[in-house]
Amino acid sequence: MPTLRGADLIARTLDSAGLTTIFTLSGNHIMPLFDAALGTRLRLIHVRHEAAAVHMADAWGRLTGQCGVVWVSGGAGFTNAAAALCTAMAGESPLVLLSGHAGIREIGRGGFQELRQADMAEPVTKASWTVQSCIDMGTDLAKAVATATSGRPGPVHLSLPFDLLEERVEDRPELHPHAGDLAPRVLHLGKDDARQIGDLIDSAKHPLVLAGPQLCHSGDLAPLASLQAALGVPVLPMESPRGINDPRLGAFAEVLRAADLIVLLGKTLDFTLRFGDAPFVQSTCRFAVIDSDPSAIERVRREKGDRLAFSVMADARPAIEALVAHAITPHHNAAWLSEVAAAAAYRPPAWETLASRQSGTAHPAELCRALQPVFDNDPQAILVCDGGEIGQWPQAMLAPRRRLINGPAGSIGSSIAMAIAARAADPAAKVIAVMGDGTFGFHMAEFDTAVRYNLPFVAVVGNDATWNAEHQIQLREYGEARAHGCNLLPSRYDLVVEALGGHGALVTRAADLPGAVERAIASGRPACINVMIERVPAPIVRRG
Ligand SMILES: Cc1ncc(C[n+]2csc(CCOP(=O)(O)OP(=O)(O)O)c2C)c(N)n1
């Protein structure tokens, strides 16, 4: 009878499930996995920091809908990776983090890098556990993938003890999970429930449907647009940590106050919605919740009592189809629909001519105006936005069909890794990532990864030599005289990228931006356009 290792069970399960792109960084505990990958279709993309591997798998999950996969070592390899899990968790992105772990026979004896990894990852994952036996490797992995992709998607962590990865067992069919074991379990919205939601919407004067991050994943809002067309009510995407003040949503916060029914479609009631409290949401507004997670429904019941008019456990994405098919009482308040659309589309006219007042710099709005042609000319181009003040400008001003943002976790630093993964997921796509200079420093070594794997993208760095988002808080809350601890240097990040084998350009005048963008794309190499920008606050959209 042939034998195989625990590591082979992992590699073969991933291979047969078609989860063949692995974002990884080597380490003692996981070298059996590297060895087991040989002879399979697995493609390892190995990176320079474990958190970057998680951000890449996160982007992969959001763009492809497939579960992202990460392999990292135990101990500090794991803790580095864990830092990026909150972005994936809040972004509702399906991924499985497989981390090496001290041998199961060494636990409690001071094994190398022994750490309670499963406990540490628990709050930032949907599930987290340590595999207990070699023969469970395949079936536990299947369970992890199914959990990550079912219901509200999110990360799952498995610790793989080194000795179990090395252990050999006799090969038997029951060690290999079937495709169905890895498939997401789908909770459909029933016809009657869809009709009830339709009736509820029809009885309201100013109804809104708010869609959560899982429905915004690739930036493709076509399903939400079709829902809006079918129901005749405004359907808005919510995935920004700035919530109702998401610059993409324009002056939406102004009309939200008039809503008398909010349908939360896979959207949790949380800080992004100002907890649904007055004055942001009127105190008589009713709620309907469609969510696969009972705790999300329970929260609305607890917070809003009998203003929770309807709730149903169902997955958000298939619920769209059910609502389109069965919520057949289209709302006829066309005036409300266009009022909300106008608010969300509103941008201050002054933005069209915003220009830097400081010589040797461009204004972030000028930077955005130089990028828009990329998305106009190529609808397949992908925009990646990081956080910070600079990240809000492209979210407000650019209208790409495909985009990735950091998401409700509000953490900075994911964009370089996400851009690389976007290019790996779609090797033909132009990928433009916009980030601040502070953020650039988090994962700039990943340009080495992009060069090694020939995954070109353009990082546009808004360089104001400041952690500006925090500096702006100091200016607002404490005054200029008390602003400290947020200064950086106007560093030549473009030269860093050149040194790593990429294309670099320094831009100090807005007029030079369009040419720099063209040349960076044409270089066919991972590129950094280091744009010196005026230090201005993030855009605020208010009418009147
Ligand atoms: C991981 C993480 N660390 C710190 C923060 C707090 N933070 C939010 S924005 C920001 C400043 C970002 O600076 P930069 O990337 O230069 O962009 P800018 O705001 O200057 O445009 C900081 C430190 C965060 N959100 N996430």
CB 202 within 8 A of CB 44: no
pLDDT the model gives residue 331: 67
**Distance (Å) from CA 446 to ligand 1 centroid:** 19
Question: 387 CB less than 6 Å from ligand 1?
Answer: yes
> Starting at the edge strand that comes first in sequence, how are the strands of the sheet with 286-291 ordered?
235-237, 207-211, 261-265, 286-291, 308-313
pLDDT the model gives residue 218: 80
**Counting atoms of ligand 1 from 1, which one is nearest the CA of 467?**
13
Question: 385 CB less than 6 Å from ligand 1?
Answer: no
Enumerate the β-bridge partners of residue 89.
none
With 0-12 CB in 10 A as exposed, 13-18 as middle and 19+ as buried, what is 287?
A: buried
Q: What is the distance between the alpha carbons of residues 25 and 36, in angstroms, rounded to a whole number? A: 15
Amino acid at 535: R
**Distance (Å) from CA 189 to ligand 1 centroid:** 39
Which of 412, 474, 489, 536, when mutated, tests ligand 1's pocket best, judged by the most ligand atoms within 8 Å of its CB? 412
Nearest CA to 436 out of 473, 401, 471 is that of 471
Enumerate the β-bridge partners of residue 528.
459, 504
137-149 vs 6-17: helix crossing angle, rounded to 10 = 40
pLDDT the model gives residue 142: 98
The number of C-alpha atoms within 13 Å of 442 and in the hemisphere containing its C-beta is 24
**Distance (Å) from CA 391 to ligand 1 centroid:** 10
**Distance (Å) from CA 470 to ligand 1 centroid:** 7
**Counting atoms of ligand 1 from 1, which one is nearest the CA of 435?**
15
Ranges of residues in the chain with a pLDDT under 50 are: none
With 0-12 CB in 10 A as exposed, 13-18 as middle and 19+ as buried, what is 300?
A: buried
Question: 464 CB less than 6 Å from ligand 1?
Answer: yes
**Counting atoms of ligand 1 from 1, which one is nearest the CA of 410?**
25
Q: What is the distance between the alpha carbons of residues 50 and 397, in angstroms, rounded to a whole number? A: 32
Amino acid at 278: A
Question: 414 CB less than 6 Å from ligand 1?
Answer: no
The number of C-alpha atoms within 13 Å of 517 and in the hemisphere containing its C-beta is 23
**Distance (Å) from CA 89 to ligand 1 centroid:** 19
For the entire predicted model, the pTM comes to: 0.98
pLDDT the model gives residue 330: 67
CA-nearest residue, atom 20 of ligand 1? 468
pLDDT the model gives residue 329: 67
CA-nearest residue, atom 8 of ligand 1? 388
Question: 247 CB less than 6 Å from ligand 1?
Answer: no
Q: What are phi and psi of 123, to 5 degrees?
A: -70, -15
Token pair in block for residue 53: 């591997």
